[in-house]
Each structure stands twice: as structure tokens, then as C-alpha cells.
Amino acid sequence: MRGEPYDPKAIEERWRHYWRERGYFRVDTARPRNKFYYLNMFPYPSGYLHVGHGRNYIIGDAIVRFLKMRGYNVLNPMGWDAFGLPAENAAIERGIHPRQWTLDNIAYAKDQFRAWGIEYDWEREITTCLPDYYRWTQWLFLKLHGSGLAYKKRAMVNYCPGCRTVLANEQVVGGECERCGTTPEPRELDQWFFRITAYADRLLSDLADLDWPEHVKKMQENWIGRSEGAMIAFPTGVGSPIEVFTTRPDTLWGATLLVLAPEHPLVDKLTAPERRGEVERYRKEAIRATEVERTSTERPKTGLFLGSYATNPATGEPIPIWIADYVMPTYGTGAVMAVPAHDARDLQFARAYGLPVRVVIAAPDGSIPDPGEMSEALVEPGTMVGSGPLTGTPGEEAIARTVAYLEGKGIGRRTVAYRLRDWLISRQRYWGAPIPIVYCDRCGVVPVPEEELPVLLPDVPFIGKMGLADIPGFAETTCPWCGGEARRDTDTMDTFVDSSWYFLRFVSPHEEKAPFVTEDVNRWLPVDLYVGGVEHAILHLLYSRFITKALYDLGYVGFREPFQRLFTQGMVCHAAYRCPEHGWLYPKEVDSLRCAKCGQEVATSYFAMSKSKKNVVEPAEIIARYGADTERLYTLFMGPPDRDIEWSEDGIRGAWRFLNRFWNLVVGQLPRLAGVEGEPERLDPAGRRLWRKLHATVKKVTEEFAGELGLNTAIAAIMELVNELGAYVDGGGADPHLVRRVVRDLILLLSPFTPFLSEELWHRLGEKQSVLETPWPDYDPGAVVGEEVEIPVQINGKVRARVCVPVPVASDPHALQEAALAAGEVQARLHGKEVVRVIAVPGKLVSIVVR
């Protein structure tokens, strides 16, 4: 039976029209009943999207289609994280304005979504680089400023010469600029910061209630880096004491020197006159060193004695004060009490300079090592020794009792320190939201009044290598307070500010009086399911949480967390070729693993798709050849959504073949199914098997969508059902009611994955509504069980036979055991053996032990 062949090109366009025209993906946010806020991380519009980007949105579209069929009112908006450096780089390279470049890319990407069969409520589209959005990003800045959460300070910052701007701490990854890979250099600049550290404890503790992958929570936990300890003051001869943070106050009696960061503010005062020159030199050297150099682990420790002393407040003894670049100015107080006997770094330092080592904690076995012999610091807690009044305190009480002692004496107190630093948001660029601040000689730092927002980006014809500061006329303004001459802040905000609140704007994207409507966001948020890449595990997600909490404290939102459930999808990898001479090559520049230009052998490796490695696959090619459904199906089938996967040309053909098989099967059956109505009755054994499989499949697919999102196994289950339906039909299975029911449910089950093909076959089946308006199929848990089960029988741990028994027998241990022992095959095996023990596991197996 040959029908019309599957031709995606002939059917897909029609359904793109149909879905958009009928507005199936629009949502009325005024009706939050049965609401579900599904959100994909919005893309940065940098040219076209490749099949790796596609994975993120295809997962989302499949989930959203499922949810709609389950009757949810789904908010599934999309927008563009449209400010940022690549637009400026493109402007420089091609002489095109960043706005033009960005908007062109957006238009192209929108077509790509449409080609994939992904339809959004485009009336809610957000573009962060347009004034009606960044106006509210500026509003957000003013609110944070008004509540003391945005402040300006002069600080050592990471300046990226490649991007010609400063970077937030989080944007320096492995000592390199997250964007361009250049090693940032330290610079001292006046910059704006958001006080995210004020929320460190809440950002940490509220993680507990989030339905997020554990490893993402862990990453945030590590990034925040909470440690409990004590602040201890060491008196000095220059008036101000040196405050030190330590997690081991119980080792105070062993502190034989103080080590300050070279940048520590008291260094000048504490330097003996005769050592000044040397100290200056060391300091300059240390400050100039990049963070990578300074923090490289295996580097020998260096330092310098300042020539002055502090007093150990516990022993009363004078101890020397040193500076060393292993002490970070930004953590704790930028000064540490060095306890060589009980800290690995301090011991290394002490050994390098011949400094005294004093043991004040006994080893776990109770012994007290000889300080002169120690080659490794004794870092485990233990009984305190040689510690004055606290000598003999056991390890488990040591810290608490020491802190109590110090507090009693007024020389120390319990404290918590965080690794997290404040968020540096100033960027010396053009393509970002201008910071709405004015500097007036008379009034000082003046926020731009809300009603004067937005502070528009100057509309200059071409942007070369310049920031706002380089654009004539931008800075000149008048002071909003006194009307006098004033200058605007010429920095723009980090683009992570734009994306740290966009999920709020989607609920009421056209509101003109406010960034969002409190009442509405309170009904729709938190986001029920947020899906995106792990690469945002720290930056974007931490910032968004912080901003949400700040808005909560200010009374603008009634929830403390933006994203209740998070799912991180894996990246799509593909072979990348690198020629020793010509660098990364496109596959077409490689001929039998040799460079087409020079003939040298190329190195093949697998990386996440990226334009720079020339290993991307363009959806347009795939869609032209196989159609969008094939790309969608393969993308979701090739592996678990949360794991990285490797794109394979062979694999996609498997998906294509499957869809052809299914299409041919259904089209071939259509003539028999016309006009057939009603449920199947009185099934034969083959029919009952198919019926059972149908219900098991619906159950499996439903559970994956509603639960762990193992969409690859859901698709595998659907393939099994298609295979069984094919076998049933080929085997002469003739019940048209059953075939129709299975075909119908299969089309619906497949529709989140292959919406075009499903919609087409659905209508050919005679249905009038869209699959999207049709309820998701139900299953009968009773039907899943079937009537008989095959039970394996093990003899001495090996499967030697299988028995088919009715379900009631299989679920009764005694009956099951009887049935297994009675089976002929089992009897033959047991002949001449003594049965020692029989274990019958209902519904599972029978295990017989013989001698």
C-alpha cells in the first residue's frame, strides 16, 4: 500500500501560518487560573542561531506544547538580550551601527524560530537595547541607588584591554576575560557597584527551597563562599590595631606573625623608615602582577618584613608584621594571622623565611609534633596545647570556647566572611544602558529624576572604537537639582543588569508607567520552569536572584526567588578541525583529515558548537534537507536533555527514516480508518498486546514530560509503539477501531516533538481542531499491566528458564514459586539436584538455589 510520500517542504509552511494566525501561543495574563510560566533564557542576537542554540528552544517548545494540551494557561515569552560588546565589534568591523546589526540579527533569528515551528507570543517581545526597555533598567538602577544598594567607590578593578572596559569579578573566568579571553589587568578606578554582598546570607540560605540541579546550587554556594570564624584585633604601635579574620581562632596562641596584603591600608604607617624603598618596590610588583600570576598555586611564596611589630593579644608577645602577595586584599580584612604550625600556606611561608613555628593543637593521636621537624601543617582540629587558660580544651569545643574567651576580653568576636564581592556594573562602552547619574560641582552625585528617564544613548551615525565618554556632547547636561552645568556619567551598565529583571517585564511588556505591574507579577511569578545553559549557573542566575530579593525588600514584588525550578540543558558538540598553520577550519576545508590549503594533517576534537571554532551546523541546511520535524526529533532524541551531546549526521538520518516509516504507516492505513468511530472491543491476543503497549507508552511519555524530562527515552518509547503498530498491521491485525485509536494517540504523543507532521496527519485523519486544542491522551493504569507476565527463573544466579503466568499468580509468592517449579524446563534443570532455597519475588522473578 503506497501512498503519498512524506515531504516536509510540502506541509510545513501551511502549519506555520495556521498556528500564528490562530494565535495558539498568545496568552492572556489577566487570567492566571491554571497558569504556568515557562521561560527559556533569552538569546543574545549575534547573527544566526545554530542547531546547538536550537536545542534550548526546541526543548522549551516541546514542553510548552505538552503543557497546553494538558490544559495549562502557558506564558512562554521570548526576547533579546540585545546590548553587548559583539554589536560594537561588528560595528567596528563592518561599519554598521550596533543598533542596525542587532535589529537585523533579531529579525533573522525570529524567522529561524518560525522555521523550527516555535511560535511565541510575539506581542510580548522584549528587546533590551530599545529605550522602552532600558528606561526601566535605569529605573532599577535608581531604586538600588536610592536604597544604598548602588554605590560608587574607587577600587582596584579588572580592566580588560581587549574589550576596553572593566569586568565584574564573575566575568573573569580562569584568569581570563569571559568574553574575549584576554588577561585582564588591575586598575584603580572610580566605579559603580551593586551591593550584592548585603544579600550573601539570603542568597545562600534560600537555595534550599529551590528545585534546581544540585550542582548548580553547589556552584552558587561555592561562589558565595560563606565561612564562619572570628575577627581578632592585634594592637600595633601606630594607634590603629590590625583586624584579622580567621576560621581558626583556636590557633591564636600559635600565631607567630601577621601577614598583610601589599595593598592593605596600614602598610604605609607600619613600614619602618629604613625599609620603605624595598616595601614600595615589592608592593608595586605585587599590584602589577595579574590575578593569575598571583594566585597560581605552585608558585613559591614571597613576602617582606615591614620592620614593625604587633602584639599577639593572647600571648602578649610582639610578633613581626609582613606583607605577602598570597594574602588577598579583597577577602576578609586583607590581613591574616599566620599560624605556621596549623596552616599549610603559613607553614610554607614560615619555612621560606625561617620564621618561628609554634604548635598549639595536638595531633589526632594526642601527640605533639616537634615544630622544627614538621613538614606538613597540622590542620585538623584537636586538643589545645600551650594556649594559656584554654590549654586542654578538646578539639570539638576549641573554636567556640576561644571565641567566648576573646569576646570576654574584648579582643575578638564571632564573624562570618564571604567570598562573594560586590557586583561591579560600570562599563566604559557605548552599547549598553547609560547609568542615570549626573555630577554637579555644587550638588555632587545627583540621580536623574525618574520622570526624565530614559537617558537616551546618543544617536551617532557610526560607532568606532569609542565609549560614551568619547562622544561629543553626551556628557554635557544641567543639574536636575540646581539647574547649573553638570556632567553625565559616561559609563553604561553591565549587560547582566539588563537580563537580571527581564522575566518580570514579560508579564506586562507594554506598561508605560512602571517596569512591571506588581499585582500581575505576583500572580505569574516565580517562573515555574526556567531552562537554559549551565554556563549561566553563576552570573545570570545569581544576579537575577539578587535583583529579585532587592525588589522584594523595596516592596515591588511579593516573591523572594525568580525561578522556582531550573533545568540546565547540555551543549551540542560537533567535530572541530584545526590546522597547525591555518587554525580552525570549516569541514569543507578538510579533505581526508588534511588541510585543503596546505595539506598538513588536521587535529580533530569535539567542542560545543561555536562560530569561532567553525564547527556549527546551520538549521537552514538541515531543514531544507529533512524538514524541521526531523531536526526537532533528532535534537531531543540524541541524548538526555541535561547532558552534552554530539551532533551526528548519521543520527539525523535515523530520525528522518523514523518519520518516514510513521508517515507511510499512517497514510497507508487512512483509507481503512475513514469514518471509523468508537473504541475497540473484544480484542484478540495481538490486539491486547498492542492495547497494553499503547497505555504503557502514554504513561511513559506523560511521566517524562511531567517529571524528569527524559525526552530521549520518551521518544524511544514512541518508536517502540510505532514498531508494534507496524507489526500488528503487517501481521494481519485488522481491528480498525484499535488501529485508529493507536494512530490517534501516536500523533498526539508525537506532536510536541514533531508538530508539523502531527498536525498534518491529524487533519488527514479527519480531525477539525488543532492538536494543540486536543487534550493530551490519557492512559488506564489497569491496561498497562496486561493479563500475563513472563517471569524469569534463575538457578544458582543464572537465568535458565522463563515461565508465563497470569498476573494474579505472578503477584502471589507461593503461587509463583509453585508455577516456576512445575515448569518443564525448570524440572529438567533440577533433575538430580537438591533444592536448597527458593526465592519468589512477586512480579519480578524466581530464584532457585540448588546443590
**Smallest distance, RNA to C-beta of residue 329, A:** 7
Instruction: Please answer whether residues 648 and 638 qualify as being in contact, where contact means their C-beta atoms are separated by less than 8 angstroms.
Output: yes
Q: How far is the CB of 461 from RNA (least distance, A)?
A: 40
Q: Is 611 helix (H, G, I), strand (E, B) or coil?
A: helix
Phi, psi (deg, nearest 5) at residue 775: -65, 145
Residue 726 phi/psi, 5-degree rounding, is -60, -45
C-alpha 521/C-alpha 507 separation (Å) is 6
| The one among 94, 269, 299, 833 contacting RNA by CB under 7 A | 299
- Ranges within 430-489 binding RNA (CB under 7 A): none
Strands 492-493 and 566-569, sheet pairing? unpaired
Question: All 3 cell numbers of residue 638?
Answer: 540524541
In angstroms, rounded to a whole number, what is the distance separating the alpha carbons of residues 232 and 248? 11
Is residue 595 near RNA by the rule CB under 7 A?
A: no
Smallest distance, RNA to C-beta of residue 653, A? 6
Residue 823: CB minimum distance to RNA, A: 15
- Reduced to 3 states (helix: H, G, I; strand: E, B; else coil), residue 34 is coil
User: Smallest Cα–Cα separation from 503: which of 160, 54, 847, 37?
Assistant: 37
User: Stretches 494-502, 597-605, 609-617, 834-842: which one binds RNA (CB under 7 A)?
Assistant: 834-842
707 binds RNA (CB under 7 A): no
Binding track, positions 14-53, relative to RNA; x by CB under 7 A: ----------------------------------------
**Letter string b/e over residues 200-231, b meaning 16 or more CB atoms within 10 A of that residue's CB:** bebbbeebeebebbeebbebbeebbebeebbb
Closest to RNA by CB, 799 vs 807, is 799
CB nearer RNA, residue 374 or residue 538: 538
Looking only at residues 763 through 802 of this chain, which bind RNA when binding is defined by CB under 7 A? 790, 792, 794, 796-799, 802
- To 10 degrees, the CA torsion angle through 396, 402, 407, 409? 150
Q: How many angstroms separate the CA atoms of 20 and 25, rounded? A: 8
CB of 688 to RNA, least distance (A): 17
Q: How far apart are CA 527 and CA 567, in angstroms?
A: 12
CB of 530: closest distance to RNA in angstroms? Answer: 19
- 99-138 residues in contact with RNA (CB under 7 A) are none
User: How many chain residues touch RNA (CB under 7 A)?
Assistant: 85
H-helix or E-strand spanning residue 218: helix 214-224
Is 792:802 a contact under the CB 8 Å cutoff? Answer: yes
- Judged on CB neighbours under 10 Å (0-12, 13-18, 19+), 782 is exposed
Nearer to RNA, 126 or 826 (CB): 826
Distance CA 568, CA 212 (A): 9
Identified binder of RNA from the candidate list 8, 43, 117, 229, rule CB under 7 A: 229
In the complex, least distance from residue 193 CB atom to RNA, rounded to whole angstroms: 17
Q: Given the rule CB under 7 A, which of 155-163, 223-231, 350-358, 459-467 is the region that contacts RNA?
A: 223-231
Question: CA–CA separation, 264 vs 416, rounded Å?
Answer: 20
User: Residue 585 gets which letter from DSSP?
Assistant: E
Identity of the residue, 456 or 603, whose beta carbon is nearer to RNA in the bound complex: 603
Q: Of 266-295, which residues contact RNA (CB under 7 A)?
A: 294-295
Least gap, CB of 325 to RNA (angstroms): 6
Residue 22: all three cell numbers together: 490562530
Least separation in angstroms between residue 844's CB and RNA is 3
Minimum CB–partner distance for residue 790 and RNA (Å): 5
Residue closer to RNA (CB basis): 232 or 448:
232
Q: Toward RNA, which CB reaches closer, 137 or 387?
A: 387
Closest CB to RNA among 480 and 792?
A: 792
Question: Which residue blocks in 554-684 are alpha helix, DSSP H?
Answer: 619-626, 628-637, 649-673
The three-class DSSP label of residue 187 is: strand
Does 538 bind RNA (CB under 7 A)? Our answer is: yes
Which residue among 218, 281, 284, 833 contacts RNA (CB under 7 A)?
A: 218
DSSP at 409: H
User: Please, what sign has the CA dihedral across residues 493, 497, 499, 505?
Assistant: negative
Q: Does 710 bind RNA (CB under 7 A)?
A: yes
Residue 215 interacts with RNA (CB under 7 A)? Answer: yes
Residues 322-361 that bind RNA (CB under 7 A): 325-332, 334, 336-337, 343, 345, 348
Q: Which of 197, 713, 774, 817 binds RNA (CB under 7 A)?
A: 713
Cell readout for 637 is 532524541
Closer CB to RNA, residue 86 or residue 254?
A: 254
Q: CA-to-CA distance for 182 and 159, rounded, in angstroms?
A: 10
Q: Nearer Cβ to RNA, position 88 or 343?
A: 343
Rounded to 10 degrees, the C-alpha dihedral 603/609/615/621 comes to 150
Contact 521, 507 (CB under 8 A): yes
Closest separation in Å from C-beta 70 to RNA: 22
Residue length, the chain?
851
Q: Quick one: three-class SS letters along 237-251?
A: CCCCCEEEEECCHHH
Say whether residue 225 binds RNA (CB under 7 A): yes
The answer to whether 252 contacts RNA (rule: CB under 7 A) is no
Choices 388-396, 558-566, 593-601, 717-725 (CB under 7 A): range interacting with RNA: 717-725
Of 203, 357, 362, 417, the one binding RNA by CB under 7 A: 417
Instruction: Please say which residue, 297 or 769, places its beta carbon nearer to RNA.
Output: 297
179 binding RNA? (CB under 7 A):
no
**Judged by CB, which is closer to RNA: 173, or 207?**
173
Q: Whose Cβ is closer to RNA: residue 105's or residue 544's?
A: 544
**C-alpha cell recorded at residue 341:** 604550625
CB of 417 to RNA, least distance (A): 6
Beta bridge partners of 806: 788
DSSP annotation of 433: P
Residue in 719, 725, 738, 805 binding RNA, rule: CB under 7 A? 719
Residues 636-695 that bind RNA (CB under 7 A): 637-640, 643-646, 648, 650-651, 653-658, 660-661, 664
Closest distance of CB 709 from RNA, Å: 11
Tell me whether residue 345 or residue 487 sits nearer to RNA (CB atom): 345
How is 739-782 classified by DSSP, letter by letter? HHHHHHHHHHHHTTT-HHHHHHHHHHTT--S-GGGSPPPP--HH
Please give the residues from 612 up to 641 whose contact with RNA meets the rule CB under 7 A.
Answer: 637-640
Interface characters, 134-173, with RNA (x: CB under 7 A): ---------------------------------------x
Decide whether 86 or 229 has the Cβ nearer to RNA: 229
CB closer to RNA, 112 vs 702? 702
3-state class of 634 per DSSP? helix
CB of 403 to RNA, least distance (A): 13
For cell 554598521, name the residue.
Answer: 96
**Is the Cβ–Cβ distance between 236 and 310 less than 8 Å?**
yes
CB of 657 to RNA, least distance (A): 4
Among 21, 33, 148, 174, binds RNA (CB under 7 A): 174
